[in-house]
């Protein structure tokens, strides 16, 4: 009942500390426990709620850290290679929106269509916002935000992206950039994953064929590519 004192066992450490913090407002009961008044009980409930939130926050941090570790220590797929750029990139021509034309399947984008990436210049690099629609162009929007920095100023083509406030990072290489045709090829540094991106929602068939031929010439298995539905 609300008017009764609540009894806690003496072995409850933080409740014993609460007794001290409240200047002795909790008293010993005849049964050997502590009896606290309404104020002490209210503070106790607040602390319990706060500790619950803290626990959930720590659990989330541990989950993100585990995800990062899984990405970092995942075995490299057979046939992976060290990827190098074919030339120097003009960073100003990387800015803006890029539409996904083709990709090597990956777990994060499983079921994604209408993919796009928006690149914006910042003082310390770029902000990258990646989006796609789940299970069709009219499906649920998924968003990933990243910070990107140039890892190789000599070519500007090696880029490090960090996600979740830097907890997860990944190295990418702009393998090929054809600004006159409006497309580029982006790959992870180990060659495991690759994306063909276009500055137009739909890449003309002839240009798309040239881009895929170039990907093959660069040593990638074009048979692994999938072509998600474009953004309308």
| pLDDT tens string 185-230 | 999 999 999 999 999 999 999 999 999 999 999 999 999 999 998 8
Q: Report the range out of 14-18, 20-24, 161-165, 187-191 with the highest average pLDDT.
A: 187-191
| pLDDT band with cut points at 50, 70 and 90 for residue 16 | very low
Judge whether residue 4 has pLDDT over 60: no
| pLDDT band with cut points at 50, 70 and 90 for residue 136 | confident
Judge whether residue 67 has pLDDT over 80: no
Nearest-5° Cα angle at 158, 155 to 163 = 150
Q: Cα(28)–Cα(35) distance, rounded to whole angstroms?
A: 6
pTM: 0.67
Predicted pLDDT of residue 224 = 96
Distances (CA, A) of 74 to 53, 173, 190: 31, 19, 12
Closest Cα to residue 181, out of 153, 209, 155?
A: 209
Q: Cα(119)–Cα(138) distance, rounded to whole angstroms?
A: 23
The more confidently predicted of residues 60 and 134 is 134
Provide the mean pLDDT of the chain. Answer: 78
HSE-CB for 218 with a 13 A CA cutoff: 28
Percent of the chain beyond pLDDT 90?
56
Predicted pLDDT of residue 74 = 41
């Amino acid at each position: 009942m609300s008017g009764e004192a609540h009894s806690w066992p003496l072995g409850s450490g933080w409740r014993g500390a609460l007794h001290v913090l409240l200047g002795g407002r909790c008293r010993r009961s005849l049964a050997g426990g502590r009896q606290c008044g309404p104020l002490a009980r209210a503070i106790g409930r607040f602390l319990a709620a706060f500790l619950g939130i803290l626990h959930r926050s720590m659990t989330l941090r541990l989950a993100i850290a585990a995800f990062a570790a899984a990405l970092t220590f995942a075995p490299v797929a057979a046939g992976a290679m060290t990827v190098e750029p074919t030339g120097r990139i003009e960073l100003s021509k990387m800015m803006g929106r890029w539409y996904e034309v083709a990709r090597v399947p990956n777990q994060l984008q499983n079921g994604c269509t209408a993919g796009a990436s928006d690149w914006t210049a910042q003082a310390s690099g770029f902000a990258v916002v990646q989006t796609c629609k789940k299970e069709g162009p009219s499906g649920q929007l998924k968003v990933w935000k990243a910070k990107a920095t140039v890892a190789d100023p000599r070519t500007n083509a090696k880029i490090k992206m960090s996600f979740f406030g830097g907890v997860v990072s990944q190295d990418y290489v702009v393998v090929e950039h054809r600004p006159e045709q409006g497309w580029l090829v982006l790959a992870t540094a180990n060659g495991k994953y690759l994306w063909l991106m276009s500055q137009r929602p739909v890449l003309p068939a002839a240009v798309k064929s040239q881009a895929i031929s170039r990907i093959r010439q660069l040593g990638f298995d074009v048979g692994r590519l999938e072509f998600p539905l474009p953004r309308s």
